[in-house]
């Protein structure tokens, strides 16, 4: 007997390689019904923040998209190209918002339909659909221009295919349609955010092992190879875009390296004469020390830009010649003073794992939903009018702006304000659901579904650059679905001994 039969939960005899689930069909009307509430609340929020909520990064990316002359790799070029494509349909960010709203309608509806098919009562599923719609974090993020809401959508699309495999069995990957959907769904998070690579490959590898134990390694290996080829093809295609500006602000690795250097200098780490000379080629040592803020990288990066204000070519030349040396210096200083690096890491990642207000630190910064809309004072561009806030429901717009102000701006949280935009609470709550299902019922379905979101949080613990809610929005997006696992029945398959299960 293959051990794959007991990989998560023992399947029923005659239905190998699958979790136990009632034979409930997925109906289109259910998909449309379950996804409708979120679509309605998102469209209402869009009328309040027409044509979209826009933070500075998204505004800059939109400008690159509509101009089509230069693309910055750090902004994720596939997303920029998607913006360019939608701007050709209608030169307004509302085009992309409407597109992702429609995609989220179908995705959320399908996920809930799959969960209903796994045995959760229809009443609970409908209640979950309503909860998703009324949680303001969802419509506020889904009306925000940029890659963050698109990334959450991509993660939920992958979750939808995972649920299909949970219900129908991993052998369903022998159906070419399911296999194609899985590969495409696994590719999307990886090409929308760099940190999505880890989440995508974690799901692909676990699914491939599951399939290999059930049916052999050939199809499992093909699944991995197909995903790698598709991701590689997208990356290669993007690298061939002639308008890429590799020198725009330095590499992502350099941005992290500079922050680590600033942390070491701020902590008083001694520098050799050569190291001091290298650091001062960028900016004075005092500026390294004074620009350091353990909660974010923006101040340090802004100080570097300020040191070269009015001299963009000099900045680009310096970055071109000193990048590797600065990255090497960062590694040297980490080894010389690991305490400074550790304190910096615990500080910048604190909102990810800490439940509760943090003294002397603002609440979780929501960036775009916190009122960074309009950008009249920031952007003076030919296309600025496309991003200017023109609310169709100005009263609701004012109410939502007040809501986000009251829950994010105060320096000290009072009552439960800290909980509003905190993502540690939903993350740990989802983990508790996973552990409860696993330990209490021997059911690993919740663990499999939550895998990409858990990996995402682990990667963001290391790579988060700024305490913005948008980086961890996926853990808020998945939480209501995870709570439905508490209402999921434990089927009779648990009573089967592994030796009693026949495997084809």
Say what the pTM is. 0.88
Q: What is the mean predicted confidence (pLDDT) over 135-152?
A: 93
Is 50 exceeded by the pLDDT of residue 8? no
pLDDT the model gives residue 71: 86
pLDDT the model gives residue 244: 77
pLDDT the model gives residue 496: 32
Q: What is the mean predicted confidence (pLDDT) over 62-71?
A: 87
Distance from C-alpha of 143 to C-alpha of 64, rounded to nearest angstrom: 20
The Cα angle at residue 38 between residues 433 and 473, in degrees rounded to 5: 50
**Least confident piece of the model among 55-69, 252-266, 349-363, 375-389:** 375-389
Q: How confident is the model at residue 11 (pLDDT cuts 50, 70, 90)?
A: very low
Distance from C-alpha of 243 to C-alpha of 67, rounded to nearest angstrom: 11
C-alpha closest to that of 132 among 484, 485, 408, 489: 484
pLDDT the model gives residue 377: 40
Distance from C-alpha of 233 to C-alpha of 494, rounded to nearest angstrom: 43
pLDDT the model gives residue 1: 37
Answer yes or no: are the C-beta atoms of 165 and 206 closer than 8 Å: no
Is 90 exceeded by the pLDDT of residue 374? no
pLDDT tens per residue across span 83-114: 999 999 998 999 999 999 999 999 999 999 99
pLDDT tens per residue across span 298-351: 889 888 888 888 787 888 888 878 889 999 999 999 999 999 999 999 999 988
Is 70 exceeded by the pLDDT of residue 21? no
Q: 272: exposed, middle or buried (C-beta count within 10 Å: 0-12, 13-18, 19+)?
A: exposed
Q: State CA 41 to chain mean position distance.
A: 21
**Least confident piece of the model among 54-58, 442-446, 457-461:** 54-58
Structure tokens at 264: 């070491």
pLDDT tens per residue across span 403-457: 877 776 555 555 566 677 888 999 999 999 999 999 988 899 999 999 999 999 9
C-alpha closest to that of 67 among 309, 386, 389: 386
Answer yes or no: are the C-beta atoms of 314 and 419 closer than 8 Å: no
pLDDT tens per residue across span 177-211: 999 999 999 999 999 998 899 999 999 999 999 99
pLDDT the model gives residue 414: 56
Q: Three-state SS for 412?
A: coil
DSSP 388: S
pLDDT tens per residue across span 487-497: 998 763 343 33
Q: 362: exposed, middle or buried (C-beta count within 10 Å: 0-12, 13-18, 19+)?
A: middle
pLDDT the model gives residue 193: 92
Distance from C-alpha of 200 to C-alpha of 179, rounded to nearest angstrom: 15
Residue 51, preceding peptide bond in cis (omega within 30° of 0):
yes
Across all residues in the chain, what is the average pLDDT?
85
- Break the chain into its structural domains and give their ranges: 18-243+421-428, 252-348
pLDDT the model gives residue 139: 95
């Amino acid at each position: 007997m293959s051990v794959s039969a007991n990989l998560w939960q023992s399947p029923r005899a005659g239905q190998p390689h699958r979790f136990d689930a009632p034979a409930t069909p997925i109906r289109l009307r259910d998909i449309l019904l379950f996804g409708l509430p979120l679509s309605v609340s998102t469209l209402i929020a869009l009328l309040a923040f027409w044509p979209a909520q826009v933070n500075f990064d998204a505004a800059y990316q939109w400008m690159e998209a509509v101009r089509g002359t230069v693309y910055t790799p750090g902004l994720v070029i596939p997303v920029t190209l998607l913006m360019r494509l939608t701007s050709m349909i209608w030169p307004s960010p509302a085009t992309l918002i409407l597109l992702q709203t429609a995609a989220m309608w179908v995705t959320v509806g399908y996920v809930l339909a799959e969960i209903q098919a796994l045995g959760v009562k229809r009443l609970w599923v409908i209640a979950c659909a309503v909860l998703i719609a009324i949680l303001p974090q969802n419509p506020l993020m889904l009306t925000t221009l940029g890659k963050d809401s698109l990334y959450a959508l991509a993660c939920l699309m992958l979750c939808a295919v995972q649920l299909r495999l949970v219900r129908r069995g991993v052998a369903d990957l022998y159906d070419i349609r399911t296999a194609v959907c899985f590969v495409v769904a696994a590719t999307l998070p990886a090409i929308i955010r760099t940190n999505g690579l880890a989440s995508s490959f974690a799901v692909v590898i676990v699914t491939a092992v599951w399939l290999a134990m059930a049916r052999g390694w050939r199809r499992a290996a093909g699944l991995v190879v197909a995903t790698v080829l598709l991701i590689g093809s997208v990356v290669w295609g993007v690298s061939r875009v002639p308008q890429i500006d590799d020198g725009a602000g330095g590499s992502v690795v350099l941005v992290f390296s500079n922050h680590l250097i600033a942390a070491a200098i701020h902590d008083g780490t001694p520098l050799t004469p050569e190291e001091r000379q290298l650091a001062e080629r960028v900016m004075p040592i005092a500026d390294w020390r004074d620009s350091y803020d353990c909660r974010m990288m923006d101040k340090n990066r802004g100080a570097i830009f300020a040191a070269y204000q009015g001299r963009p070519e000099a900045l680009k030349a310096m970055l071109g010649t000193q990048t590797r040396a600065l990255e090497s210096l960062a590694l040297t200083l980490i080894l010389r003073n690991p305490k400074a690096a550790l304190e910096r890491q615990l500080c910048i990642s604190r909102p990810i794992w800490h439940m509760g207000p943090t003294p002397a630190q603002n609440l979780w910064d929501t960036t775009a939903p916190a009122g960074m809309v309009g950008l009249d004072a920031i952007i003076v561009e030919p296309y600025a009018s496309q991003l200017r806030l023109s609310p169709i429901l100005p009263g609701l717009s004012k109410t939502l702006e007040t809501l986000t102000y009251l829950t994010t701006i105060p320096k000290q949280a009072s009552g439960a304000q800290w909980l509003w935009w905190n993502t540690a609470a939903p993350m740990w709550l989802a983990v508790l659901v996973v552990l409860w299902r696993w330990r209490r019922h021997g059911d690993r379905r919740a663990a499999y579904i939550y895998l990409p979101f858990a990996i995402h949080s682990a990667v963001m613990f290391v790579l988060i650059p700024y305490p913005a809610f948008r980086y961890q929005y996926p853990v808020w997006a998945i939480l209501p679905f995870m709570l439905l696992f508490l209402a999921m029945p434990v089927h009779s398959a648990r009573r089967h001994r592994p030796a009693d299960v026949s495997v084809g």
